[in-house]
Amino acid sequence: MPSHLVCFNSSCRAQYPITDVLYNCPKCGGLLEASAPEALDPARLKPLWRERRMSNAPLDQSGVWRYRELLPFDGQFEHVVTIREGNTPLLASPRAAAYGGLRAVTFKHQGFNPTGSFKDNGMTCGASQGRRLGMKRVACVSTGNTSASMAAYAAQAGMQAIIFLPHGNISYGKLAQALEYGAKTLQVEANFDQILKLVRVLAEQLGIYLLNSVNPFRIEGQKTIMAEMLDQRDWHVPDWVVVPGGNLGNVSAFGKALRELQAAGFIDRLPRLAVIQAEGSAPFEAFMHTPTHDSFPTVDHPETLATAIKIGDPVSWPKAWNEVATSGGLVEKVTEQEIADAKAVVGASGIGCEPASAATLAGIRKLTASGRMPPDADVVAILTGNVLKDPDYIYRYHTGGLTAHSGPIKGAFENAPIVVPNDPQKIAALLA
């Protein structure tokens, strides 16, 4: 049966052609998802996916398209836009594990992607669908990583990228990428959630293809992060997968991938999904701790220095809710101080990450301290972005100048540079 779009709302489940330009269900307004792949054969695909690692074919060299049987393109790959995304490592860190209260932890580091974040996994599918639809212009609202990724893939595809970002609320390391890749960049005097509403209107009026995570093809590409992680672990399922929570596209994608892989017989159980949000931008955490779940408590003015998760009205929350509940997972929030110190520990491990990524380790530390995650748990934590995404944050932390909305952050692991004279004896004495 050919792939199609399906309304995620369980009371609707209306279906639409895969080539319709839709982001929400026209009947009920619910989120859309691509239909699950059918007739996947683990006995055939596991060795095939491993064999493709040795191939020089562009599709096989991509850590997304290597798993193309999971994606809703029905064998039609002539429109694929790839810059060899995915292929991100699993990295052990005894130092981070000890800090987090675990015997061991493994980081799945999406910062090794071409533009330095997990967004590339989803963007290759979103941009490829844009080409399949014949789109000439693509747009996104971004606090940084999405804009960098979309700009690169649009440039590769010969499409014009139009980026809308909150004025004064973006890391220059991320903005520099979008500018370098040739995107038209508009800084709007509003927050992320307000701008997304604006862009939804403009995209429909001007025929521009929207590539935020409300686009179901973005979610499909991000599914392959879980396929690759399990492949790297020889299909041994971890106890937990811990992920930062912003617009909640990642946890939505991860849960969908894991359910589909379990249904097809690749794995025999689901890991528990833990979503970690920044304290000043934690509407999903508040929702999950509300007994009635009758309304979603958006945050009108979200606050966090971890700009990648500075979102007060995440569009994917219904999907995220389903995936966390299905996996028996949970949602936690952490302070700016906890994020900053966890980030320094990841860095001191020789790994490094952007601030939002460090929410995972901060959350793990909180979960083990409260007894909700046992110290011997098998945990994979997602690092979403490269350490160089926000270098100003790093410098200010280590030199005592980092301040959040909640006040100054004291660097528990501060490592400030030392000014020394041009005198070998004095420097030798200092180093001794």
Strand 240-244 relative to strand 379-383: parallel, antiparallel, unpaired? parallel
Cα 170 to chain centroid, rounded = 17
Note whether residue 381 is domain-resident. yes
Strand 32-34 relative to strand 330-334: parallel, antiparallel, unpaired? unpaired
State the Cα angle at 47 between 43 and 50, rounded to 5°.
Answer: 145
What's the rounded Cα separation, in Å, for the pair 363 and 27? 38
CATH of the domain at 316: 3.40.50.1100
Residues 10 and 107 in one domain: no
Could you give the angle at which helices 249-264 and 216-232 cross, rounded to 10 degrees?
Answer: 60
How would you class 268 by CB atoms within 10 Å of its CB: exposed for 0-12, middle for 13-18, buried for 19 or more? exposed
Phi, psi of 141 (to 5 degrees): -100, 135
Note whether residue 144 is domain-resident. no
Could you tell me if 3 and 72 are in contact, meaning their C-beta atoms sit under 8 angstroms apart?
Answer: yes
How many Cβ atoms sit within 10 Å of the Cβ of residue 300? 10
User: What local confidence, expressed as pLDDT, does residue 107 receive?
Assistant: 98
Full strand arrangement of the beta sheet holding 379-383: 90-92, 106-109, 379-383, 240-244, 272-278, 330-334
Note whether residue 371 is domain-resident. yes
Element (H, E) at 334: strand 330-334
Q: Strand, helix or coil at 237?
A: coil
Residue that has been written with the tokens 């994608």 in this structure = 253
Residues 31 and 94 in one domain: no
Q: Pick the closest to residue 331 from 342, 317, 345, 311 (CA basis).
A: 317
The identity of residue 377, as a single letter, is A
End-to-end CA distance of the chain: 71
Instruction: Say if pTM beats, i.e. exceeds, 0.85.
Output: yes
How would you class 430 by CB atoms within 10 Å of its CB: exposed for 0-12, middle for 13-18, buried for 19 or more? exposed
**315-357 tens-digit pLDDT:** 999 999 999 999 999 999 999 999 999 999 999 999 999 999 9
Could you tell me if 32 and 8 are in contact, meaning their C-beta atoms sit under 8 angstroms apart?
Answer: yes
**254-300 tens-digit pLDDT:** 999 999 999 999 999 999 999 999 999 999 999 999 988 889 999 99
The identity of residue 74, as a single letter, is D
What are the residues whose beta carbons fall under 8 Å from the beta carbon of 413, sequence distance 6 or more? 341, 344, 345, 348
User: What local confidence, expressed as pLDDT, does residue 169 receive?
Assistant: 64
How many Cβ atoms sit within 10 Å of the Cβ of residue 426? 11
Residue ranges making up the domain that contains 376: 90-114+217-408
Residues 24 and 108 in one domain: no
Bridge partners of 272? Answer: 240
Note whether residue 85 is domain-resident. no
Residues 240 and 332 in one domain: yes
Q: Token pair for residue 174? A: 């991320």
What's the rounded Cα separation, in Å, for the pair 379 and 300? 33
Residues 105 and 24 in one domain: no
What's the rounded Cα separation, in Å, for the pair 405 and 368? 27
Residues 12 and 102 in one domain: no
Note whether residue 170 is domain-resident. no
The number of domains in the chain is 2
User: What local confidence, expressed as pLDDT, does residue 170 receive?
Assistant: 67
Note whether residue 189 is domain-resident. no
Note whether residue 372 is domain-resident. yes
pLDDT in tens, the chain (432 residues): 789 999 999 999 999 999 999 999 999 999 999 998 888 999 999 999 999 999 999 999 999 999 999 999 999 999 999 999 999 999 999 999 999 999 999 999 999 999 999 999 999 999 999 999 999 999 998 878 999 999 999 999 999 999 998 877 666 777 889 999 999 999 888 887 888 889 988 988 899 999 988 999 999 999 999 999 999 999 999 999 999 999 999 999 999 999 999 999 999 999 999 999 999 999 999 999 998 888 999 999 999 999 899 999 999 999 999 999 999 999 999 999 999 999 999 999 999 999 999 999 999 999 999 999 999 999 999 999 999 999 999 999 999 999 999 899 999 999 999 999 999 999 999 999
What's the rounded Cα separation, in Å, for the pair 26 and 15? 10
Structure-derived torsion over alpha carbons of residues 140, 143, 145, 149, reported in degrees to the nearest 10: 20
